[in-house]
Amino acid sequence: MTLEEFRLKYKYEAATTMMQQYLDIKFANLDCLLLFRMGDFYEMFFEDAVIASQVLGIALTKRGKNGDEEIAMCGVPYHSLDTYLNKLIEENFKIAICEQLETPEEAKKRGGYKAVVNREVTRIITPGTVLEESLIVAHQPNYLASLVIMKNRASICLVDLSILEIFLVEIPESEVLNELARLTPKEILLSENHRTKQLTSDIVTQLRLRISYQVDSFFAYKKCHKITLDFYKIYDLKAIGELSDCQISSIGSILEYLSLTQKHNIPALPFPKIINYHNFMIIDSATRRNLEITSNLLGQTKGSILNTLDHTVTKAGSRLLYYFLSAPLIDIQEINHRQDITNFFYSHIPLVENIKKILKTTGDLERCLARITMNRGCGRDLLNIKYTLDAALRIKGEFVNHCGLNFPSYIEDLIKPLSGNEEISDLIDQAICEDAPSYLNEGGIIKHTYHPKVQQLYDLINNGKTHVEKLKHQYRLDTGIENLKISHNNVLGLFIEITARHNEKMSDNQFIHRQTTTNSVRYTTADLQKLESEMVNARSLVINLEVELYKKICSEVTKEAHILRLVANSLNNLDVFCNFAHIAYEYNYVRPVLVEDLNFEITKGRHPVVEQSLLCEKKTFVSNDCTLSQTNRIWLITGPNMAGKSTFLRQNAIIAILAQIGSFVPAASSKIGIVDKIFSRIGAGDDLMSGNSTFMVEMLETSAILAQSTARSLVILDEIGRGTSTYDGVSIAWAVLEYIHDKLKCRCLFATHYHELTNLSNFLPALENYTTKIEELEHEILFLHNIIKGTADKSYGIHVASLAGLPKSVIIRANDILLKLEKTGTNKGKNILKTETNNLSLFTLAPETPEDFKLQKLKEEINNIVADQLSPKQALDLIYKLKELASVHVQTSCKMQEKNNIK
Taking alpha carbons only, the member of 741, 791, 776, 830 closest to residue 638 is: 791
Architecture of the domain made up of 3-125? 3-Layer(aba) Sandwich (3.40)
User: Which residue blocks in 688-839 are alpha helix, DSSP H?
Assistant: 694-708, 726-739, 797-804, 808-824
pLDDT at 187 (0 to 100): 95
Taking alpha carbons only, the member of 159, 157, 156 closest to residue 143 is: 159
Q: What is the DSSP letter of 64?
A: E
- Cβ neighbours, 10 Å, residue 545: 17
Q: Outline where DSSP puts E strands in 93-184.
A: 95-100, 119-125, 144-150, 153-160, 165-172
pLDDT at 854 (0 to 100): 57
Give me the sign of the Cα torsion angle 353, 354, 357, 358: negative
pLDDT at 812 (0 to 100): 77
Distance CA 706, CA 303 (A): 29
Give the per-residue SS3 of 280-297: ECEECHHHHHHHCCCCCC
Distance CA 159, CA 141 (A): 10
The matching CATH number, chosen from 1.10.1420.10, 3.40.120.10, 1.10.1040.10, 3.40.50.10330, for 452-538 is 1.10.1420.10
Distance CA 98, CA 37 (A): 6
Taking alpha carbons only, the member of 742, 747, 738 closest to residue 720 is: 738
pLDDT at 828 (0 to 100): 41
pLDDT at 612 (0 to 100): 92
**H or E element that contains 650:** helix 645-661
pLDDT at 819 (0 to 100): 73
Is 332-421+560-586 a domain of CATH 3.40.50.1010?
no
- pLDDT by 10-residue block (mean), the chain, 903 residues: 85 87 93 92 93 92 82 90 88 92 84 86 93 84 95 94 94 92 94 92 89 94 96 93 94 96 88 93 91 89 93 96 96 97 96 96 94 90 95 93 82 91 93 87 87 87 86 91 88 89 85 88 91 82 90 93 95 97 97 95 96 88 94 91 84 97 97 95 60 77 90 92 77 92 95 88 93 72 77 71 76 74 52 38 45 58 66 72 63 50 44
pLDDT at 68 (0 to 100): 76
DSSP, collapsed to helix, strand or coil, labels residue 899 as helix
pLDDT at 841 (0 to 100): 42
pLDDT at 406 (0 to 100): 79
Q: What is the DSSP letter of 740?
A: I
pLDDT at 149 (0 to 100): 95
Specify the fold of 136-279.
Nucleotidyltransferase; domain 5 (3.30.420)
Taking alpha carbons only, the member of 660, 666, 663 closest to residue 578 is: 663
Distance CA 295, CA 309 (A): 12
User: In the CATH scheme, what is the code of domain 588-795?
Assistant: 3.40.50.300
pLDDT at 780 (0 to 100): 64
User: pTM value?
Assistant: 0.82
Distance CA 693, CA 686 (A): 5
- Cβ neighbours, 10 Å, residue 492: 14
pLDDT at 567 (0 to 100): 96
Looking from the CA of 26 toward its CB, the CA atoms found within 13 Å total 24
